[in-house]
Amino acid sequence: MDTDMISKKDLLAAANISYGQLYRWKRKGLIPEAWFIKKSSFTGQETFLPRDKVLARVEKIKSMKSEDLSLDDIADAVSPSLAEVSLTLADVRERKLVSEAALEVFSAKHSGDEPLRFGELVSLSALDTLLKTGDVSLDEGRVVLEALDGAYPAFEGRGADLLFVRKLGMSTAVLVTTSAEVRFEPAARVVVRLSLAECAEALSASIR
């Protein structure tokens, strides 16, 4: 059993909270979506969360609620936006927020000690996700980064997905709105469709 994780059922009992409270806090962003991880169990699929992080977060929320703060006020306190975070590549490396492979590809194009902008942090998170899953190689990671750098600013304020496509040994990456339906010719294969919002949320959860 993974002792670093706690099932949703055990969390409700350990923290003495209801299912409704947990998901209300989730909807408000008090508990990150990225912390809810579905895993196979002997009963089928079950939701698990990082034990220490979520128990500490629940206690903090309950403590702040006892001070009569609104959920919105608590959300602002416990869930800072990536747009408000100032991190350099050195900070990212020191805190081990992404893999060295992702940092190697990213730093070849983004050098210097200036804090990374919001879009750059999202791009780095997306690149790291694709490298870790093995969906792209290091060389293909550079293609992904080119697409993100060139197109992501145009999607500011709107949900965007990254599509990585292969055809006859060639590959490319494109960005589309989250709701867009995209179809390619039969010879082209969509290797992965990655939500950039989820990448941002996962990175933000690691920073908190």
Same domain? 71 vs 94 = no
Place 118 in a pLDDT band, splitting at 50, 70 and 90.
confident
Same domain? 95 vs 196 = yes
CB 164, CB 135: distance < 8 Å: yes
pLDDT at position 156 is: 64
Please state the rounded mean pLDDT for residues 150-157: 75
Same domain? 10 vs 73 = yes
Place 10 in a pLDDT band, splitting at 50, 70 and 90.
very high
Same domain? 55 vs 108 = no
Tokens 């694709």, residue?
130
Tell me which of 59-73, 84-98, 132-146 is least confident: 59-73
φ and ψ at 130, to 5 degrees? -70, -35
160-167 and 44-50: which strand pairing? unpaired
The count of other CB atoms within 10 Å of the CB of residue 5 is: 18
Residue where a domain stops, chosen among 79, 109, 142: 79
pLDDT at position 206 is: 74
Residue 80 in this model has a pLDDT that exceeds 60: no
Same domain? 53 vs 127 = no
Please state the rounded mean pLDDT for residues 54-73: 84
**Distance of CA 202 to CAs 97, 166, 185, Å?**
10, 26, 32
Q: What is the residue range of 9's domain?
A: 5-79
Please state the rounded mean pLDDT for residues 1-13: 84
Same domain? 130 vs 188 = yes
Report the predicted TM-score, pTM, of the whole model to 2 decimal places: 0.62
pLDDT at position 74 is: 75
Question: Token digits for 139?
Answer: 């060389």
CATH of the domain at 28: 1.10.1660.10
Question: Token digits for 7?
Answer: 């099932």
Place 138 in a pLDDT band, splitting at 50, 70 and 90.
very high
Helical H segments across the chain, by residue range: 8-15, 19-27, 51-65, 71-78, 89-94, 100-109, 118-133, 138-151, 196-207
Same domain? 94 vs 180 = yes
Same domain? 73 vs 88 = no
Same domain? 42 vs 104 = no
pLDDT at position 84 is: 67
For residues 109 and 124, give the distance between their C-alpha atoms in angstroms, rounded to a whole number: 11
Total structural domains in the chain?
A: 2
Residue partners of 147: CB distance under 8 A and separation at least 6: 162, 172, 173, 174, 175
Same domain? 196 vs 154 = yes
Same domain? 92 vs 13 = no
pLDDT at position 130 is: 94
Same domain? 173 vs 158 = yes
Residue where a domain stops, chosen among 53, 79, 105: 79
CB 130, CB 112: distance < 8 Å: no
Residue 39 in this model has a pLDDT that exceeds 90: no
Residue where a domain stops, chosen among 64, 79, 94: 79
For residues 115 and 91, give the distance between their C-alpha atoms in angstroms, rounded to a whole number: 9
Place 126 in a pLDDT band, splitting at 50, 70 and 90.
very high
